[in-house]
Amino acid sequence: MPQPKPVVQPEYDPTYLNSLREAYVIIALFAIFCSWSIFVCYNFGYLSPGEQLSEISTVLGMPSWAFWGIGLPWLVVDVVAVWFCFFYMTADNLGEAHEGEDLAEQVAHLHEGEEARGE
């Protein structure tokens, strides 16, 4: 008795899966650095209405809120970029370009339609 052919379950494209995984990490990175910058700058860098100051604490010459809220996270992002680009993101195969294939399909459909009308 012939054996039934095993059902082959299609597999997701690994480039798609890797890109999706990386997209989640990117959104998380954005959330972390957005929260960091806004939290520090808003809590330590904003004056209340009517308030004034004549002296400001500085780090490396910039207002300390700008250093801790913008300068430092900017540096950290650059370090994270090294990790993300060279150790996390995968060098997937993007495939061959099928130049002109979309247009060729369109032209083929066009002729199929013409032939059908001719019959």
Partner 1 sequence: MNSLTLVPLLAAGGSNAAIVTFSIYIVGVMVLAWLSNRLLQSKSFLSEYFLGSRSLGVWAFALTFAATSSSGGSFIGFPSLVYTHGWIVALWIGSYMIVPIVSMGLLAKRINQVARKSGSITIPDVLRDRFESPVFGAIATGLIVFFMVFNLIAQFKGGSVILQTLLQDVPLFRQASHGLADMLHGVPILGGSEDKPGYLLCLLVFTVAVVVYTAYGGFRAVVWTDVMQGLVMVGGVALMLPLALWAVGGLGNATREMAQMTPPDKVKLELSVPDSVSETFNIASNSWLVQDDGDGRRVFRTAARAQILPGEKTATYRDDNGDLSPKIPGIEITYAKQVENLSPDQLGHDVTIRVLESKEYVNGAGRTGVYVTGPGPHASSDAGFLPFSLAVSFFFMWTFSGAGQPANMVRLMAFNNATTLRRSIFAVSIYYSLIYFPLVIIFCCARVLLPGWETESDRIMPEMAKVTTELVHMPWLAGLLVAAPFAAVMSTMDSFLLMISSAVVRDIYQRNINPEASEQTIKRLTYAATIAVGTIAMLAAVSPPQFLQDIIVFTGSGLSTSFLAPVALMLYWPRFNRQGALAGMLGGFATHVTLYTVGTLKSGKVDAYELFNFHPFMVGLFASFVFAIAVAYLTPPPPEHLVRKYFYKDAAR
> Interface residues for partner 1 in 10-29 (CB under 8 A)?
10-16, 18-20, 22-23, 26-27, 29
Least separation in angstroms between residue 4's CB and partner 1 is 22
Copy the structure tokens of residue 35: 């929260």
| Angle of CA points 41, 42, 48, to nearest 5° | 125
Scanning residues 78 to 117, which ones bind partner 1 (CB under 8 A)? 78, 80-82, 84-86, 89-103, 106-107, 110
Least separation in angstroms between residue 117's CB and partner 1 is 17
Specify the residue, 55 or 115, whose C-beta has the smaller distance to partner 1. 55
3-state secondary structure of 43: helix
3-state secondary structure of 77: helix
Scanning residues 41 to 60, which ones bind partner 1 (CB under 8 A)? 41-42, 45-47, 50-56, 58, 60
Copy the structure tokens of residue 92: 């997937």
Q: Which amino acid is at 86?
A: F
